[in-house]
């Protein structure tokens, strides 16, 4: 499929942020966007790049009523030698297609995903920030665009790619978060759509997240939806516990998003000779281990922050400090290594980095 390009009139270019370090996540967008339509009878068609702007959508578009929509999140990094890099993008395209299957949406050929992104970034590469830590956030999205009221999979979809520069997550160094264990509200259940990056999961997380914020905590620690006992995720990140000298993370059993950072941490830690175990871990075990002092570190993992150390956990109105509440040794080491690989500053023994053809 040939991509048509309608470049922005240079006089209408969007103002670039003056100070990269002050960028608020998800507020500034690049000059162009990629769009493509799908109809059941014709498959994907009309791939095009146009100036960034509003979408035209019928108010009966099914995504607006039944939430049939999925997305991804990845970043482009500017390397000191002039290359532009992505981190394990094939994993994002594959997860996108798994999410699509989960909510009865059409898949997109992964090779075409690369082609579309490279065409878009070829036009907007000046938007990829320069300073280490900052990057260009990429948001591939698919929505049900068919105008129809009635619950069934739509027969028309819109796919779009938008991008925007984001600042380093830790402009002033690591800042351990405090987390509130939600034993009343749940994010996802086994057999549901928790393992898909579908919009409904994020709507379902808002109420508990607001509650946690009102109580003075940064993030919610999600427990399983049945027993409210097994730890699943933290905020919109996967979670890791360092019990003595073993790294433990909950297994992917359907209600947890298969994070790409999670997988990278597991591979990297094993490469360093650390024992990593994917097993169910209960909130009681977490609390007991923190109390006994055997819990050396707790941290979340995700594309936005890479590693997010947890300093304190609140469960049933009691607060538990993880060690001294500071940044753990492994969290720091994993963060430094992954960031160095992402920016092409260190050897990439796993072949994770993809050099953009732009
Ligand atoms: C619910 C949820 N869990 C985990 C993650 C971490 O996934 P990744 O490491 O691929 O960014 C994300 C972010 O994408 C998420 O939204």
Instruction: Walk along the chain (358 residues) and give the pLDDT tens digit of each residue.
Output: 999 999 899 888 888 888 888 888 999 999 999 999 999 999 999 999 999 999 999 999 999 999 999 999 999 999 999 999 999 999 999 999 999 999 999 999 999 999 999 999 999 999 999 988 899 999 999 999 999 999 999 999 999 999 999 998 876 678 899 999 999 999 999 999 999 999 999 999 999 999 999 999 999 999 999 999 999 999 999 999 999 999 999 999 999 999 999 999 999 999 999 999 999 999 999 999 999 999 999 999 999 999 999 999 999 999 999 999 999 999 999 999 999 999 999 999 999 999 999 9
What would the 3-class secondary structure string for 98-109 be?
A: HHHHHCCCCCCC
List Cβ neighbours of 147 (8 Å cut-off, separation of 6 or more).
Answer: 58, 59, 60, 61, 62
Instruction: Kindly state if the Cβ of 238 falls inside 6 Å of ligand 1.
Output: yes
Q: Are 96 and 157 in contact (CB under 8 A)?
A: no
Exposed/middle/buried for residue 267 (C-beta within 10 Å: 0-12, 13-18, 19+) = middle
- What is the chain's Cα-based Rg? 21
Cα 240 to ligand 1 centre (Å): 13
Q: Are 156 and 186 in contact (CB under 8 A)?
A: no
Instruction: Kindly state if the Cβ of 237 falls inside 6 Å of ligand 1.
Output: yes
Question: 66: alpha, beta or left, given left = phi > 0 and alpha = psi -120 to 50?
Answer: alpha
Instruction: Kindly state if the Cβ of 94 falls inside 6 Å of ligand 1.
Output: no
What residues form DSSP beta bridges with 50? 33
Instruction: Kindly state if the Cβ of 257 falls inside 6 Å of ligand 1.
Output: yes
| DSSP codes joined into one string, 121-139 | HHHHGGGS--STT-EEEEE
Strand ranges, E, within 198-334: 219-223, 231-234, 237-243, 246-249, 275-278, 295-302, 306-315, 318-321
Strand ranges, E, within the chain: 4-5, 32-39, 43-51, 69-71, 74-78, 84-87, 135-144, 156-166, 177-182, 219-223, 231-234, 237-243, 246-249, 275-278, 295-302, 306-315, 318-321, 353-355
Instruction: Kindly state if the Cβ of 138 falls inside 6 Å of ligand 1.
Output: no
Cα 246 to ligand 1 centre (Å): 22
CA dihedral 131, 132, 133, 136 (to 10 degrees): 60
Instruction: Kindly state if the Cβ of 303 falls inside 6 Å of ligand 1.
Output: yes
How many Å separate Cα 47 from the centre of its chain? 25
Element (H, E) at 19: none
**Ligand 1 pocket test, candidate residues 236, 263, 307, most atoms within 8 A of CB:** 236
Helix-helix angle 260-271:89-102, to 10 degrees: 130
Q: Are 135 and 77 in contact (CB under 8 A)?
A: yes
What residue owns the CA closest to ligand 1's atom 15?
Answer: 236
Instruction: Kindly state if the Cβ of 260 falls inside 6 Å of ligand 1.
Output: yes
pLDDT tens digits for range 144-161: 999 999 999 999 999 999
pLDDT, position 21: 83
Instruction: Kindly state if the Cβ of 300 falls inside 6 Å of ligand 1.
Output: no
How many Å separate Cα 72 from the centre of its chain? 7
The closest of 309, 311, 304 to 330, measured between CA atoms, is 309
pLDDT, position 237: 97
Angle, CA 100 vertex, CA 4 and CA 233 arms, to 5°? 120
Would you say the C-alpha torsion 59, 60, 63, 64 has a positive or negative sign?
A: positive
Cα 207 to ligand 1 centre (Å): 19
Cα 197 to ligand 1 centre (Å): 8
The closest of 223, 257, 255 to 237, measured between CA atoms, is 257
List Cβ neighbours of 213 (8 Å cut-off, separation of 6 or more).
Answer: none
Please give the model's pTM, rounded to 2 decimal places.
Answer: 0.97
Instruction: Kindly state if the Cβ of 342 falls inside 6 Å of ligand 1.
Output: no
What are the structure tokens assigned to 272, written together? 């360093």
CA distance 163 to 168: 16
Query: Which atom of ligand 1 is least distant from the CA of 261?
Result: 9
Query: Which atom of ligand 1 is least distant from the CA of 73?
Result: 14
pLDDT, position 219: 94
């Amino acid at each position: 499929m040939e991509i048509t390009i309608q470049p922005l009139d240079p006089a209408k270019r969007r103002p670039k942020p003056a100070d990269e370090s002050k960028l608020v996540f998800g507020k500034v967008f690049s000059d162009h966007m990629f769009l493509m339509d799908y109809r059941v009878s014709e498959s994907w068609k009309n791939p095009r790049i146009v100036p960034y702007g509003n979408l035209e959508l019928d108010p009966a578009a099914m995504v607006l009523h039944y939430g049939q929509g999925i997305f991804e999140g990845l970043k482009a990094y500017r390397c000191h030698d002039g290359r532009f890099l992505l981190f394990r993008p094939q994993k994002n395209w594959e997860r996108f297609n798994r999410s699509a299957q989960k909510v009865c949406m059409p898949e997109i050929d992964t090779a075409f995903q690369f082609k579309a992104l490279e065409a878009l970034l070829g036009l907007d590469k000046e938007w990829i920030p320069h300073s280490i830590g900052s990057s260009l956030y990429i948001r591939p999205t698919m929505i049900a665009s068919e105008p129809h009221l009635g619950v069934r999979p739509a027969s028309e979809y819109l796919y779009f790619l938008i991008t925007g520069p984001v600042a380093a997550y830790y402009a002033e160094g690591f800042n351990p978060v405090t987390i509130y264990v939600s034993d009343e509200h749940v994010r996802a259940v086994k057999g549901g759509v928790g393992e898909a990056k579908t919009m409904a999961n994020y709507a379902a997380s808002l109420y508990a997240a607001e509650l946690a914020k009102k109580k003075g905590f940064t993030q919610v620690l999600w427990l399983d939806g049945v027993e409210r006992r097994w730890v699943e995720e933290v905020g919109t990140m996967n979670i890791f516990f360092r019990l003595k000298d073993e790294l433990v993370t909950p297994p992917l059993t359907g209600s947890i998003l298969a994070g790409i950072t999670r997988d990278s941490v597991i591979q990297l830690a094993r490469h360093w000779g650390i024992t990593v175990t994917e097993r169910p871990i209960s909130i009681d075990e977490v609390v007991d281990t923190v109390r006994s002092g055997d819990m050396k570190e707790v941290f979340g993992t995700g594309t936005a922050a890479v590693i997010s150390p947890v300093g304190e956990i609140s469960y049933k109105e009691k607060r538990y400090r993880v060690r001294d509440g500071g940044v753990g040794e492994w969290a720091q080491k994993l963060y430094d290594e992954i960031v160095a690989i992402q920016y092409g500053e260190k050897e990439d023994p796993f072949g994770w980095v993809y050099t953009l053809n732009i």
